[in-house]
Amino acid sequence: MALVELSDVSKTYFDHVPVRALSGINLDLERGAFAATVGPSGSGKTTLLNLVGGLDRPDTGSVRIAGLDISTASPAALAEFRLRHLGFVFQSFNLFPVLSVMENLEFVPALKGTPKAERVRRAEALLELAGLADLRRKRPDELSGGQQQRVAVLRAILPEPDLVLADEPTANLDSENATLLLDMMERLNKERAVTFLFSTHDPAVMRRARRLIRLKDGRLADGVEPDGLEP
């Protein structure tokens, strides 16, 4: 069974006039995928990520993740679902400014009730893996953009979610930091089987993705490449 199943999903926004963001989307995403939604601005990439992430609801159709239909769940149930199954990486990093790197990493496990010692052990192991161990006590404003985004990725994967959703993760990074970030996410995907779904304009991300989901005017464009292709 696919990890993510979208069935005939449509979404329209109302901003003075109705804007059809997605229309009739049918999509499956397998566990362990390293996939990117691509397309021009306004094609529906972010809307697709928001629906898969349970941050928004489809007008029609259903969104199932790990077997659960999240289209009809309550806000509290959705929050619980995101906590247990999803990780997020945002374009603007969005680390909590009042927490240190270590505390940012501990945030989601703390919400899940993971004991402190276990949270710290896992966070330190990941920081070591990512070469960021020296930054554990620093606050986000003491880090570069690249460092912040790598910490954000670690925050997303530390709770071992089924799926990490990354919205334009390299958009605010220079090419060197973007490469470092992609290297790290690719390694996590291969070594820990973490499933990634990006939305991106970045050719570097598109080159690394093993599956490209092309969107145009809110619809899936021809040429969806099947999962499993090695770059």
Partner 1 sequence: MLFWQMAWRNVWRYRRRTLLTVLTIALGLAFGILMRGIGDGFHEQMVDNSVRAEIGHLQLHLRGYHRDPSLQKTLPDATLVEQAIRQTPHLLGYSMRVLGDGLASTADNSAGVAVVGIVPEMERTVTTINRAIVAGRYLDQGMNRPILIGERLSQTLDARLDDKLVLMVQAADGSMGGQLFRVAGIFRSGSPELDRGVVYILRTDAQSLYSLDSRLTEAALLLDSSESVEPARRFLAARLSSAPVEILPWYVVAPFLEQFIELDDAFFYIIVVILFFVISVGILNTVMMSVFERVREFGVMMALGTRPRQVVRLVIQEAVVISLAGAVLGSLLGSGSTLLVESTGIDLSRWAAGASAVGITATVIHPTLTFANLAASNLAVVLVVLLVAFYPAIRASRLRPVEALRHV
- Using CB under 8 A, list all residues that contact partner 1: 50, 53, 55-56, 75-76, 79-80, 82-84, 86, 88, 90, 94, 96-99, 103, 106-108, 110-112, 155
SS3 track for 15-66: ECEEEEEEEEEEEEECCCCEEEEECCCCCCHHHHHHHHCCCCCCCEEEEEEC
Helix, strand or coil, per DSSP, at residue 18 = strand
Query: Which CB, 78 or 215, lies closer to partner 1?
Result: 78
Beta carbons within 8 Å of 70's beta carbon, 6+ residues apart: 54, 63, 64, 78, 81
Closest separation between CB of residue 97 and partner 1, Å?
8
Query: Which CB, 75 or 231, lies closer to partner 1?
Result: 75
Query: Which CB, 165 or 188, lies closer to partner 1?
Result: 165
CA 117 from chain centre, in angstroms, equals 27
Query: Which CB, 61 or 212, lies closer to partner 1?
Result: 61
Q: Backbone phi, then psi, for 84, in 5-degree steps?
A: -85, -30
Query: Which CB, 90 or 129, lies closer to partner 1?
Result: 90
Closest separation between CB of residue 207 and partner 1, Å?
27
Closest separation between CB of residue 62 and partner 1, Å?
18
Closest separation between CB of residue 71 and partner 1, Å?
14
Helix, strand or coil, per DSSP, at residue 182 = helix
Distance CA 107, CA 91 (A): 19
Closest separation between CB of residue 52 and partner 1, Å?
12
CA 5 from chain centre, in angstroms, equals 16
Other residues' Cβ atoms within 10 Å of the Cβ of residue 17: 6
